[in-house]
Structure 1
């Protein structure tokens, strides 16, 4: 999928596209037929050629499942299709399938970032640079410690992603599964089999309890929070007057041939500025739930999740590219720090004066200890994921 208004959108491929959503809904209907004892392959019965008609018909019913179920029933000849389900069961379960697959792809990118940042922190643990607070020179630090800070943000995001669960939705019209029970179906056994078939977690109906949705949204935004922090440092330190970092391949200008713009960092910052609002929409919708099925609040989630998932996946690959090819200029970092030595050591001198002794050491404090702590955490994550640190 291309999007001229969101450069890089093609990186997400067909993730969460209309075609992918249709296929996921069909998987749910097919899995349910298996639960009913009438297994039947459905994936070949509908496809991209049906999207326009299904989208048009969705306006009449408020969701695409009504038209899809009718189409599948007509083409399969299976009268039991969709029996015992409701539209929300199909949509929510399909969304969870897509979110699970999206998160899996994001996690693979995050693992690459963890490995690259762990190595960067080690390589530059003694690379002296000026620490900056509130835009001004503060005290000495190292680029290794800065990279460890980036790594911490990425590891925090990893923890949130790894803790996610993707529950199946199965409740029938009002969360009681009354139609299934009426048909002689064991609701607990049916839920377990449906979940297992789809690779989801078996849980009770959550029609108007939307934490499964907001939890995924929060975890995805935690990723862009971390990447945005990295991007802002790259944008600042790649300014010509600072020149301590640069992207391996900068972007050009339409009129200025000398420009090497830090485009990946720019696009990552774009993502970090726009994804929190999407998660906020999910929380607003969760708070606006009512009765046993929500009117409007549920519907507000679908496109929001699509946009959020695709944007985070795009940003994930851009962050991997940025971190993996980042150019560090240790000489420039040291030169800046040495030129500002009087300011960077001012705090040290103020602490030494009452004791009537000369300032001691490099004033880097426990930087090495903190780097090692974060590296140890990263190495545990990599080892648990089957990657060699």
Structure 2
């Protein structure tokens, strides 16, 4: 990825290799913490005399060994050593080492075990567990930012819809004049698209991935009598949801991508409309101008609508990436995919960064939008003959608006309800 060829990518800071490395470290630490929580539970159960009485418990000698309070102390030390290693800076592997391993996790574990010891680090997990869970942390970050930007943009649209509830303008269908509408209605429709997208973003579940080598949690079952409690504690530590393994059931990835595509599409509609209405021959809206924004390298008179252009670019790029992720999902075979999983990584992270960037730009675009209501009214009046052709009589476009203002009010009521 290139900051030079992807203008605005700095808005998605943190969703990069450095951020991924930190997320991987966070996952490995959370796993140690979750195992400690399970050992504490077992130790308390042993004191109560119930360690081997639970359904599915191991033989008494194994249960007693697992419930040994000394294990909690050992895990405490492992966590302290882990934190010390992170504080001193866990070195990232070279690109050749990552290529040789096939994923960053293998090298991560090798490095951690050289710093912390290998008795507890990563035990019970597989590489896919760590990377998939780290990507869920990435998605959590991205979705939180997208939610914020959608809310900021919706607030600006709500103000515009109220201000222009009765601002008459020419309606257009298939590029030609249709009947009169209001700019408030156009903005209200944009607002509905954003609110629908925000609802979808907020409904997304982000599950941890814990399946072990082949989705059975076999080693975890050897390490503890309460594997589900470990997974629950792991999810709670990361602020994610506990779930069944999904190594080859890739709907967590595709659903996130789908809702982000919806959000980018809603932003793309806004940008596309502003690009048309901002053309010099139309001139009904324009992006706010500021020093250095939208300048041309050769034509000093120009103020290019750069935010709209970049948002539209993202809206065009995201859907093919989402389609690619669905293709990968359909090819997720065996107990871990041979290439289809790997092909997800760049596409999924690209969807995240494009979405965060575009929705941030949309908030700025709408927050600074300049509306020429007089130009809208003038054009509607000049085109009254065509705009009122369906009606057959009259010369005042403001008298032929149907339920436009009522629709605006309904949308604003939804926005006001939160």
TM-score, scaled to structure 1: 0.92
| 1:341–1:71 CA distance, 2 compared to 1 (3 A) | same
In structure 2, the residue matched to 1:17 is: 16
In structure 1, the residue matched to 2:262 is: 222
In structure 2, the residue matched to 1:128 is: 168
How does 1:1-389 map onto structure 2 within 5 Å? 3-14=3-14, 16-37=15-36, 38-39=75-76, 40-41=79-80, 42-43=82-83, 45=85, 50-53=91-94, 55-249=95-289, 251-349=294-392, 362-381=399-418
Question: Contact 1:19–1:51 at 8 Å: present in 2 too?
Answer: no
Rounded Cα–Cα distance in structure 2 between residues aligned with 1:130 and 1:358: 13
Rounded Cα–Cα distance in structure 2 between residues aligned with 1:60 and 1:95: 21
Query: 39-48 or 118-127, which moves further after superposition?
Result: 39-48
Rounded Cα–Cα distance in structure 1 between residues aligned with 2:348 and 2:395: 59
Rounded Cα–Cα distance in structure 1 between residues aligned with 2:321 and 2:92: 25
Question: Contact 2:24–2:131 at 8 Å: present in 1 too?
Answer: yes
* Rg larger for: 2
| 1:260–1:214 CA distance, 2 compared to 1 (3 A) | same
**Off by >4 Å, runs of 4+ in structure 1:** 46-49, 357-361
| 1:360–1:152 CA distance, 2 compared to 1 (3 A) | closer
Deviations 1:146-198 (A, max 9, x none): 00011011111111101101001111011110111122342211110100011
Question: Contact 2:288–2:370 at 8 Å: present in 1 too?
Answer: yes
Rounded Cα–Cα distance in structure 2 between residues aligned with 1:360 and 1:246: 23
Question: Contact 1:26–1:43 at 8 Å: present in 2 too?
Answer: no
Question: Contact 2:168–2:397 at 8 Å: present in 1 too?
Answer: no
Question: Residue 48 of structure 1: CA displacement?
Answer: 7.2
Rounded Cα–Cα distance in structure 1 between residues aligned with 2:395 and 2:287: 41
| 1:259–1:147 CA distance, 2 compared to 1 (3 A) | same
Question: Residue 369 of structure 1: CA displacement?
Answer: 1.1
Question: Contact 2:124–2:220 at 8 Å: present in 1 too?
Answer: yes
Question: Residue 44 of structure 1: CA displacement?
Answer: 5.0
TM-score, scaled to structure 2: 0.86
Deviations 1:73-95 (A, max 9, x none): 11012522111111111001111
Query: 78-87 or 127-136, which moves further after superposition?
Result: 78-87
Question: Contact 2:11–2:357 at 8 Å: present in 1 too?
Answer: yes
Unaligned runs of 5+ in 1: 382-389
| Paired residues, number | 373
Question: Residue 43 of structure 1: CA displacement?
Answer: 5.0
Q: Secondary structure at the match of 2:212?
A: coil
Deviations 1:1-25 (A, max 9, x none): 96111111111122x2111111111
Q: Secondary structure at the match of 2:281?
A: coil
| 1:373–1:66 CA distance, 2 compared to 1 (3 A) | same
Deviations 1:250-302 (A, max 9, x none): 51111111111111101111011101111111111101110111111111111
Question: Residue 228 of structure 1: CA displacement?
Answer: 0.6
Q: Secondary structure at the match of 1:268?
A: helix
Question: Contact 1:275–1:308 at 8 Å: present in 2 too?
Answer: yes
| 1:48–1:102 CA distance, 2 compared to 1 (3 A) | farther
Query: 223-232 or 31-40, which moves further after superposition?
Result: 31-40
In structure 2, the residue matched to 1:386 is: none
